[in-house]
């Protein structure tokens, strides 16, 4: 896994996540977008060859990341996706998990949480996350 897409409207949070990913592995590229339209364009454009996605659940409005997750699952069913959120209410978690993301990370993020996601990405694609 060499290319990651971070879909996060909070620029500081996106940069923190990128730094944590870089602490865990040495990716070739980390692409950051702050809205759904930009994310969909990148997902459609196969030249980017994204290996995995970190997706903010509330990117532009509450729970709209769920719609984007559905879109990703329809367009690229094998794409590993970790949801990033501060939402931990049971009903929200159940709703998100019904869309089968690879992982569900609750903010604040940590090296351990991101490492867990990277390991799950690894297992879901049967490829090794490498330095």
Three-class SS of 97-124: HCCCCCEEEECCCCHHHHHHHHHHHHHH
Pick the CATH number of 3-120 from 3.60.15.10, 3.40.50.2300, 1.10.10.10, 3.40.50.300: 3.40.50.2300
pLDDT for 20 equals: 97
pTM of the model: 0.92
pLDDT tens, residue by residue, 44-68: 887 778 999 999 999 988 899 999 9
Q: Which of 117, 104, 129, 108 is nearest to 26 (CA)?
A: 129
What's the token pair of residue 77? 């069913």
Q: What is the pLDDT of residue 128?
A: 54
CB 55 within 8 A of CB 7: yes
Q: Residue 108: is the preceding peptide bond cis (ω within 30°)?
A: yes
């Amino acid at each position: 896994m060499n290319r990651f897409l971070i879909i996060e409207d909070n620029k500081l949070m996106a940069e923190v996540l990128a730094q944590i990913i870089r602490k865990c592995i040495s990716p070739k590229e980390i692409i950051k977008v702050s809205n759904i339209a930009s994310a969909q364009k990148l997902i459609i454009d196969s030249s980017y060859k994204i290996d995995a996605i970190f997706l903010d659940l509330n990117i532009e409005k509450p729970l709209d990341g769920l719609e984007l997750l559905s879109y990703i699952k329809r367009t690229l069913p094998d794409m590993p996706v970790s949801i990033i959120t501060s939402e931990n209410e049971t009903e929200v978690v159940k709703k998100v998990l019904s869309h089968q993301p690879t992982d569900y990370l609750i903010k604040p993020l940590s090296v351990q949480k991101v490492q867990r996601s990277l390991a799950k990405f690894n297992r879901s694609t049967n490829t090794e996350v490498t330095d």
